[in-house]
């Protein structure tokens, strides 16, 4: 049962748990995998709890799961009397280490402001995943950009992209990046994605290389 009282008030700490099937790699569009919270951090503050983390593709984590998590968070923020029954179930086939997807179920108490039961596939465009162990084969169009192209950042300034634009952050850094090949990320050991609005809410600011 979720309530405003469970929501975190501190900035999220670095994730250090490697979930099962964690074989990450860098694609042209960013890193393939995120350490995906089943119950989102913004809802309970659960972070390095290995029981609450799976290896999820970047698309699974954001925007797919984040879209539903934001709906719940918005509802809870409206009143401390709002409650939501919530469950997220990872689906593993046989002895697979990588989940095939997640089922997300939510129902607000006393009304239908939040009500969904959805299944989200753990997939990424241009990548063939081996669900047995988490390894992957990447199409040529998704391979990481060559070093000669790392200095050019995408414009990513189209206003109709809004705050849902994807940005790249490091768990221990304070900057966000539109370009996954930004010079500011070259030495990063771990890179994660989130929306621009989420990054700004967490106190991240735009990398100097992209200003």
- Let me know whether 2 and 103 are in one domain: yes
- Let me know whether 123 and 40 are in one domain: yes
Quote the tokens at residue 66.
């984040």
pLDDT for residue 159? 34
Separation of alpha carbons 208 and 184, rounded Å:
8
- Let me know whether 45 and 130 are in one domain: yes
Domain limits for position 17: 1-142
pTM of the model: 0.69
CATH of the domain at 18: 3.40.570.10
Number of domains the chain contains: 2
pLDDT for residue 113? 97
pLDDT one digit per residue (tens) for the chain, 211 residues: 999 999 998 888 888 889 999 999 988 878 899 999 999 999 999 999 999 999 999 999 989 999 999 999 999 999 999 999 999 999 999 999 999 999 999 999 999 999 999 999 999 999 999 999 999 998 876 665 433 343 444 443 333 334 678 888 887 788 888 887 787 787 777 788 888 877 777 778 888 877 7
pLDDT for residue 184? 79
pLDDT for residue 161? 38
Quote the tokens at residue 11.
């900035």
For residue 48, give every residue at least 6 positions away whose Cβ sits within 8 Å of its Cβ, in sequence order, or none.
13, 15, 16, 17
Separation of alpha carbons 122 and 93, rounded Å:
12
Separation of alpha carbons 192 and 176, rounded Å:
10
Separation of alpha carbons 23 and 132, rounded Å:
12
- Let me know whether 187 and 211 are in one domain: yes
């Amino acid at each position: 049962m979720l309530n405003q009282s469970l929501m975190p008030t501190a900035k999220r700490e670095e994730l250090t748990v490697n979930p099962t099937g964690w074989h990450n790699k860098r694609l042209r569009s960013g890193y393939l995998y995120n350490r995906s919270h089943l119950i989102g951090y913004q809802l309970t503050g659960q972070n390095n709890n290995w029981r609450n983390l799976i290896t999820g593709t970047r698309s699974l984590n954001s925007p797919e799961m984040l879209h539903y998590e934001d709906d719940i968070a918005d509802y809870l923020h409206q009143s401390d009397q709002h409650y939501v029954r919530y469950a997220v179930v990872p689906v593993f086939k046989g002895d697979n280490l990588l989940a095939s997807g997640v089922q997300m179920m939510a129902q607000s108490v006393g009304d239908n402001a939040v009500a969904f039961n959805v299944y989200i596939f753990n997939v990424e465009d241009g990548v063939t995943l081996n669900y047995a162990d988490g390894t992957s084969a990447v199409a040529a169009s998704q391979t990481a950009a060559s070093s000669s192209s790392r200095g050019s950042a995408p414009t990513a300034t189209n206003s109709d992209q809004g705050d849902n634009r994807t940005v790249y952050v490091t768990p221990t850094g304070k900057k966000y990046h539109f370009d996954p090949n930004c010079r500011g990320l070259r030495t990063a050991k771990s890179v994660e994605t989130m929306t621009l609005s989420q990054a700004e809410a967490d106190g991240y600011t735009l990398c100097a290389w992209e200003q």
